[in-house]
């Protein structure tokens, strides 16, 4: 009666087996990444009823079964190619090597899926916190300060002030109302956003002893005087 099958790295040629296993695993990883990239491209092109959000069960089947089936074939092909080149690797060792590599790649996929899920949940939490903060700001009414995002703007003696931070800018038109100021701030951001994907920000600067409000973006070099 034959004894239990040993892992490839425990056969009689430990250094050669381990070197072969490492080469096969690296090649399988590279082929797997190329396979997944190809399947992602096909999914984007073939966005039909079978793989759409309207058919979640079909979508899950498409994601799971073909990927693991192709991954198994991919690993088998890499091992067979290596067996032909090495010569000394028998059929039993080749099967054991195939199982080890396939199992390791599957574990890697599970770890990556867990990390991706954790990252997604973190992003959702951050988005929920930002949405909640925006909603709270909306409930406060008035015009939100473009600098701190917490206080409310007010105009006193021709100056634009914030109820929370150090914003204090002399208005060129002392008759401007908050509604007009809000429109100017919105249009300033919009002009930049139409030209650049990066998010710019409002900043204050001092020019000959006078505070100015500007909108700047480090990525595109946008620098616009607001007030």
Does position 77 have pLDDT exceeding 90, yes or no? no
Does position 203 have pLDDT exceeding 90, yes or no? yes
Does position 51 have pLDDT exceeding 60, yes or no? no
For residue 13, what pLDDT band results from cuts at 50, 70 and 90? very low
More confident residue, 11 or 176: 176
Residue entry with tokens 């092909």: 77
More confident residue, 187 or 46: 187
Does position 56 have pLDDT exceeding 70, yes or no? no
pLDDT at 64: 44
pLDDT tens digit sequence for 129-144: 878 877 776 666 788 8
Of the given ranges (91-100, 204-213, 215-224), which has the lowest mean pLDDT?
91-100
pLDDT at 167: 92
Q: Is 169 exposed, middle or buried (0-12, 13-18, 19+ CB in 10 A)?
A: buried
Closest alpha carbon to 24 in 9, 12, 39, 5 = 9
Does position 168 have pLDDT exceeding 80, yes or no? yes
Radius of gyration (C-alpha) of the chain in whole angstroms: 31
More confident residue, 151 or 25: 151
Report angle CA 120, 107, 95 to the nearest 5 degrees: 155
Torsion of CA 111, 112, 115, 120, to 10 degrees: -140
Does position 73 have pLDDT exceeding 70, yes or no? yes
89-111 core/surface letters (b: 16 or more CB in 10 A; e: else)? beeebbebbbbbbbeebeeeeee
| Domain extent listing, the chain | 8-115, 153-225
Closest alpha carbon to 161 in 141, 173, 178 = 178
Helix axes 91-140, 14-45, angle to 10 degrees: 50
For residue 48, what pLDDT band results from cuts at 50, 70 and 90? very low
Tokens of 96: 């054991």
- Mean pLDDT over residues 137-154, rounded? 83
- Mean pLDDT over residues 64-68, rounded? 47
Half-sphere exposure of 102 (CA within 13 A, CB side): 19
* Mean pLDDT over the full length of the chain: 76
Cβ atoms within 10 Å, residue 215? 19
Q: Please say whether the dihedral angle defined by the alpha carbons of residues 170, 174, 176 and 178, taken in this order, is positive or negative.
A: positive
Alpha carbons 77 and 9: distance in angstroms, whole number: 20
């Amino acid at each position: 009666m034959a004894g239990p099958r040993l892992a490839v790295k425990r056969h009689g040629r430990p250094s050669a087996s381990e070197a072969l296993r490492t080469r096969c695993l690296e090649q399988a990883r590279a082929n797997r990444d190329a396979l997944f990239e190809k399947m992602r491209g096909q999914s984007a092109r073939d966005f039909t009823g079978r793989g759409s959000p309207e058919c979640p069960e079909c979508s899950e089947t498409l994601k799971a079964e073909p990927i693991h089936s192709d991954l198994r074939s991919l690993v088998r092909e890499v091992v067979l190619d290596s067996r032909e080149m090495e010569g000394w690797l028998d059929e039993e060792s080749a099967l054991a090597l195939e199982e080890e590599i396939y199992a390791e790649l599957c574990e890697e996929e599970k770890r990556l899926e867990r990390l991706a899920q954790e990252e997604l949940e973190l992003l959702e939490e951050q988005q929920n916190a930002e949405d909640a903060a925006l909603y709270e700001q909306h409930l406060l009414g008035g015009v939100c300060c473009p600098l701190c995002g917490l206080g409310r703007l007010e105009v006193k003696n021709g100056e634009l002030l914030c109820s929370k931070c150090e914003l204090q800018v002399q208005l060129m038109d002392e008759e401007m109302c908050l509604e007009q100021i809000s429109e100017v701030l919105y249009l300033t951001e919009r002009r930049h956003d139409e030209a650049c994907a990066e998010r710019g920000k409002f900043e204050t600067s001092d020019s000959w002893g006078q505070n100015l409000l500007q909108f700047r973006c480090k990525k595109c070099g946008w620098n616009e005087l607001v007030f």
